[in-house]
Structure 1
Amino acid sequence: MTLFWIASIILVVFSCVLIALPVMRQKANNDEALRDELNKAFYKDRLTELEEEAEEGLVENQQDLIDDLKQSLLDDIPADSKNSQENAISPMAVMIPSMLLVVGLSYGMYYKFGAQQDVLQWQEVTSNLPALSKKLMSPEGAQLSDDEMRDLTLALRTRLHYEPEDSTGWLLLGRIALANRDVDTAIGSMKKAYNLEPESNDIMLGYAQALMLSQDDVDQENARRILGNLVQKDYVDLRVFSLLAFDAFERQDFPAAVRYWSIMQQMIGPEDSRYEMLSRSIENAKKQMGQQVGSGQSVSVTINIADDVTADPNAALIVSVHTADGSPMPVAAARYPVGSLPRTVVLDDGNSMIAERKLSSLESLMVRARIDSDGNVATKEGDWFGESEAVTMGEPVEVMIDKRY
């Protein structure tokens, strides 16, 4: 805003200079002075002629002729000459009111038609960006009103105009566009954030979400590639598997959809209110596959940890279902981050190791759970583990991790 006022003052001063220059350069009217000089020259010439004529004896009343010449000279001076000089307008009397008129008109027209209120509102919104961003990122961020969302978008665009390398700003703008179903803006903003920080998990997820909304097959394929990279990086976020599941369902890849929704169930546990909704989605996908959905097709496993066991929350928790005789080869298995224990996970046919041998085909089973500390499933030395008793399919299973390889 300071720059605007400086620029406006410079323009107004320049306009005033344009008005002042012609007035200051205006030359006085020299008609009267030229007339007086001409009369004087004529008078002197006539006096010289009278003297010559008097010397030659041609003139007898020289003084009378001189008096007549003087009188004719006086008669040639206009009566209003003195008044016109007295009434001459000073240049300052013209210049100062003109300048005041320019200043008054300039700022008066801006006040009337210059959208001053919009500019002031824009400045207020821009200064309020931190508060709006904090409110959006908070758990109750969805409660932002439409006006607040518009204000936040305007403030973000202003900031990104001056700070185009702000990846967080582009990510936030993309999320707002996603909320407003503005696909083009969402993809464009997320792409800029992704180009600035291609290894950021949050940005990768946001970019994949935007690409999934595109009708372009290439965009959707790129989204699957990004989501696959997130899964390989063990990025634990329900939205990753949710996007993969719905995408698989839309492509009629129902087994993949079941697998992803089953993983989501395992991540949230049966006590979560979303668990039943995911169960209905799984049943719908299985019906699409022509499968009969019955009871006893999933195994619920509650995992506890002994008091003397210390587990890194970032380590991997590997849960495997085996035949009741404890065969080393698992029938089904799943991998989770350890997180906080105790916790409950659910395995079903989507976790089966071999397509020809489903988990639901078992009549009895036992479960093993292991904390993989080095990220290599093949190595077990130093890992903590536990195993359950043999149970009948459909019964809940409990595993206590209290042993070490």
Structure 2
Amino acid sequence: MINLTIVLALIAIIASVAVVFPWLRKKHVLQLDQKRQTELYAEKLADIQADLTSGNIDEQAAQAAKDDLKIQLASELALNHSGHGKGFNPKLLWLLPVVTLVIAFSIYRIQGKPEQMIQFYQAKENTPAFGQKLLSGDQNFTTEELQQFYIGLRHQLSQKPNDAVGWLLLGRVAYSNGELTNAIAAFEHSIKLDGSNISALLSYGQVLVATNDETYLKKAANVYLKVLQQSPQESEALAMAGYVALQLDDMESATQYWRFALKLLPENDSRRLVMARTIPVLAEEFNIDISSSAMPQNHPATADHPVSEQKTQDANANQILVSFQLSDETQARLSEFKYLVVFARPALAGPPAAVVKIDLDKYFPTQVKLSDDNAMMPNFNLSSLTSAHVTVRLSKDADVSKSEGEIEYNSEKLELSNNTALNILL
């Protein structure tokens, strides 16, 4: 802020000088004109006196000539003075820098610039700490912190444009803010600087998938293929490559990718169940009981297990409790549907950060809880988001895409916390 004040003061002084200098120059020219007129008057007066002395004119004519000369000089001096500015006090000109500075600061404050500058300096100061926090795996950022982090990273990268990690962080922050275009550009810049960074490639693929655009989905498929060429046992790349293949209606490739992923994922990884339920042939192949999906807390199945045996959640982890009510029309059609699918994602497109799929042959829940346990990817879960849209679908089959006649509800954007609640009427 001090530097900014100095800059504004200098601008005010420069502007004032630009205004005052022409006036001072004009004043100087006027003084020269008055001096020349006075000198000319003295010369003419001397000529009249010389003519009188030599007898060329008499006393009366000489006096008349002197009077005319005085009137002419007085008239010219008065004309110059009036043209310079009658009644103007030159001392007031020195108030111009002060007035200019006051006006500049007023406009600056009206536009909210001081607050923006304060935010900028705070962002600049907090950027290193935010970077360490993100790199350590802690993704619990508030919306304000993400905005500060984004601003700070942009400034940092303007100073160090070849910082591949900086561009990677910028892309992740932009993605968390829902700025997909900026995220894509940042990841591409990072990969251009360091094409072997698997973390950058995975993040790039993730944001490409989030666009839900076929062109970007095909590009994402190539990105995950590049990752697998470098690291064939990268389970996250296998999981996402399978998801992309499903979105592109390539069931054969999706099955192959997820088959390899299931061989690598630990038995307690929640993604195994999601994959098995999406492609039932994998459930048989890997002996996964798809009937034992994550049950809502109010379902009788959860009562059979003591609380100590249930997987505990971080108290600060983001969760969404979705409560349902059915309209008479939906209640009448309920027998048409086989699954209730509930998922959350940062935008109304792209992969979900959490998904629950419930077989309606057994029961229809009144509540479903989405948490980090329902994530497809360990680094892309509800706790990695500050906001999300929830989609609820009554599905007729196991296809991940919406089919004709299915009922789907999309929520407005929700600000996430450890107790986010959503009531839905289907």
| CA deviations over 1:86-137 (Å, ceiling 9, x no partner) | xx9999x966542x33311332122111234323432332232212222333
- 1:297 alignment partner, one of 282, 287, 292: 287
Q: Give 2:199's aligned residue.
A: 202
- 2:137 alignment partner, one of 139, 143, 152: 139
Contact kept in structure 1, 2:48 and 2:65, CA below 8 Å: no
Residue 183 (structure 2) pairs with residue 191 (structure 1): no
Query: Measured at CA, do residues 265 and 131 of structure 1 come closer, stay the same or move farther in structure 2, by a change above 3 Å?
Result: same
1:197 Cα deviation after fit: 0.9
Q: Give 2:30's aligned residue.
A: 27
1:209 Cα deviation after fit: 1.9
Query: Measured at CA, do residues 279 and 17 of structure 1 come closer, stay the same or move farther in structure 2, by a change above 3 Å?
Result: closer
- 1:46 alignment partner, one of 49, 52, 58: 52
Query: Measured at CA, do residues 11 and 163 of structure 1 come closer, stay the same or move farther in structure 2, by a change above 3 Å?
Result: farther
| CA deviations over 1:17-72 (Å, ceiling 9, x no partner) | 5523542432322445534442332133123218xx9xxxxxxxxxxx86996799
| CA deviations over 1:140-180 (Å, ceiling 9, x no partner) | 32x21112212222222222233322211211121123223
Query: Measured at CA, do residues 202 and 258 of structure 1 come closer, stay the same or move farther in structure 2, by a change above 3 Å?
Result: same
Output the CA distance in 1 between the equivalents of 2:24 and 2:128.
54
Query: Measured at CA, do residues 7 and 254 of structure 1 come closer, stay the same or move farther in structure 2, by a change above 3 Å?
Result: same
Query: Measured at CA, do residues 222 and 13 of structure 1 come closer, stay the same or move farther in structure 2, by a change above 3 Å?
Result: closer
Q: Give 1:160's aligned residue.
A: 157
Output the CA distance in 1 between the equivalents of 2:170 and 2:150.
7
CA-atom RMSD, angstroms? 4.2
Contact kept in structure 2, 1:244 and 1:260, CA below 8 Å: yes
Output the CA distance in 1 between the equivalents of 2:273 and 2:59.
132
Q: Give 1:151's aligned residue.
A: 148
- 1:171 alignment partner, one of 168, 180, 188: 168
Q: Give 2:220's aligned residue.
A: 223
Output the amino acid matched with 2:287: Q
- Segment of structure 1 superposing worse, 24-33 or 109-118: 24-33
Contact kept in structure 2, 1:249 and 1:285, CA below 8 Å: no
Q: Give 2:340's aligned residue.
A: none
1:297 Cα deviation after fit: 3.2
SS at match of 1:164: coil
1:182 Cα deviation after fit: 2.8
Residue 284 (structure 2) pairs with residue 278 (structure 1): no
Q: Which residues in structure 2 correspond to 1:4-403 (within 5 Å)?
A: 5=6, 9=10, 12-13=13-14, 15-16=16-17, 19-24=20-25, 25-28=28-31, 29-30=34-35, 31-49=37-55, 97-98=92-93, 100-114=94-108, 115-141=113-139, 143-234=140-231, 237-254=234-251, 256-261=253-258, 263-270=260-267, 272=268, 274-275=269-270, 278-286=272-280, 297=287
Contact kept in structure 1, 2:171 and 2:187, CA below 8 Å: yes
Output the CA distance in 2 between the equivalents of 1:250 and 1:17.
65
Output the CA distance in 2 between the equivalents of 1:19 and 1:215.
61
Per chain length, whose mean CA-contact separation is higher, i.e. which structure has more relative contact order (CA < 8 Å, sep 6+)? 2
1:10 Cα deviation after fit: 6.4
Output the CA distance in 2 between the equivalents of 1:27 and 1:296.
101
Contact kept in structure 2, 1:245 and 1:256, CA below 8 Å: yes
| CA deviations over 1:173-205 (Å, ceiling 9, x no partner) | 211232234332222211111111111111222
Query: Measured at CA, do residues 103 and 117 of structure 1 come closer, stay the same or move farther in structure 2, by a change above 3 Å?
Result: farther
Contact kept in structure 1, 2:228 and 2:234, CA below 8 Å: no
- Segment of structure 1 superposing worse, 116-125 or 102-111: 116-125
Contact kept in structure 2, 1:12 and 1:103, CA below 8 Å: yes
Contact kept in structure 2, 1:171 and 1:190, CA below 8 Å: yes
Output the amino acid matched with 1:234: S
TM-score (norm 2): 0.52
Aligned pair count reads 271
Query: Measured at CA, do residues 232 and 70 of structure 1 come closer, stay the same or move farther in structure 2, by a change above 3 Å?
Result: closer
1:282 Cα deviation after fit: 0.4
| CA deviations over 1:188-234 (Å, ceiling 9, x no partner) | 21111111111111122222223333455443333223322322333
Contact kept in structure 2, 1:245 and 1:257, CA below 8 Å: yes
1:262 Cα deviation after fit: 5.2
Q: Structure 2 unaligned runs (5+)?
A: 290-426
Contact kept in structure 2, 1:227 and 1:240, CA below 8 Å: yes
Output the amino acid matched with 1:246: Y
SS at match of 1:127: helix
Output the CA distance in 1 between the equivalents of 2:161 and 2:275.
42
| CA deviations over 1:292-339 (Å, ceiling 9, x no partner) | x6698369xxxxxxxxxxxxxxxxxxxxxxxxxxxxxxxxxxxxxxxx
Contact kept in structure 1, 2:168 and 2:186, CA below 8 Å: yes
Output the CA distance in 2 between the equivalents of 1:234 and 1:260.
14
